[in-house]
Amino acid sequence: MNESGRSVGEAVRFYKLDLADVIVFHDELDLAPGKVRVKAGGGVAGHNGSRSITAHIGNDYVRVRIGIGHPGSKEVVVHHVLNNFAKADRDWLEPLLGAIARAAPDLAEGASDKFQSFVAHAMHMEAEAADERPEPAPRQGRDAPSTGSDKPAAAEGPFDKLRRWFGSATD
């Protein structure tokens, strides 16, 4: 990605494309995970891939910035950007990519506002649907947590749910 400007520049020249017809999708640390913003032109905001593309074709192409969120510390940004998504990110990433694919024709036709609105609406609907999904049934049998006695296990508290969820997300 950091040197993508070379191949983008060659494709633009070979196909004699207008820069307004070039659409670049890239990750964006400064957007929350799952948020999407579209703009034409603008700065590169420290994104090396955008910097490379701008150096080879100029600045007037369309950018679709896909939020991945900032990890919180400068020291872990490189790891955050260059490694695979965590399993927990599938909850927002798969619906987001599906919404982007369904709305891509609007973007190709130059209707970036319509594209962005569709994606935002689809993600909002996905979040609402996730809130309405039932909690998984309590574990039973050998997989149930042991209390060390014959008494039933205590009700699971909110922190237990978080620990279980984050523990399974890092598998």
pLDDT band, very low/low/confident/very high, at 151 (cuts 50, 70, 90):
very low
For the stretch 94-126, pLDDT in tens is 999 999 999 999 999 999 999 999 999 999 988
Question: What is the rounded CA–CA span in Å between residue 166 and residue 171?
Answer: 9
Q: Please check whether residue 20 is in contact with residue 63, taking contact to mean a CB–CB distance below 8 angstroms.
A: no
Report domain extents, the chain.
Answer: 4-133
Question: What is the rounded CA–CA span in Å between residue 90 and residue 84?
Answer: 11
What CATH class does 4-133 carry? alpha beta
For the stretch 127-143, pLDDT in tens is 888 777 666 555 454 44
Question: Any idea how long the chain is?
Answer: 171
36 C-beta neighbours (distance < 10 Å), count: 21
Please name every residue paired with 23 in a beta bridge, in sequence order, or none if there are none.
62
Q: Please check whether residue 96 is in contact with residue 66, taking contact to mean a CB–CB distance below 8 angstroms.
A: yes
- Inform me whether the pLDDT recorded for 14 exceeds 90: yes
CA distances from 130 to 93, 124, 134 (A): 13, 10, 9
Question: What is the rounded CA–CA span in Å between residue 160 and residue 163?
Answer: 5
pTM of the predicted model as reported, rounded to 2 decimal places: 0.71
Nearest to 65 by CA among 100, 108, 35: 35
Nearest to 98 by CA among 76, 123, 81: 123
Q: What share of the chain is helix, strand, coil (3-state, %, to 5)?
A: 55, 10, 35
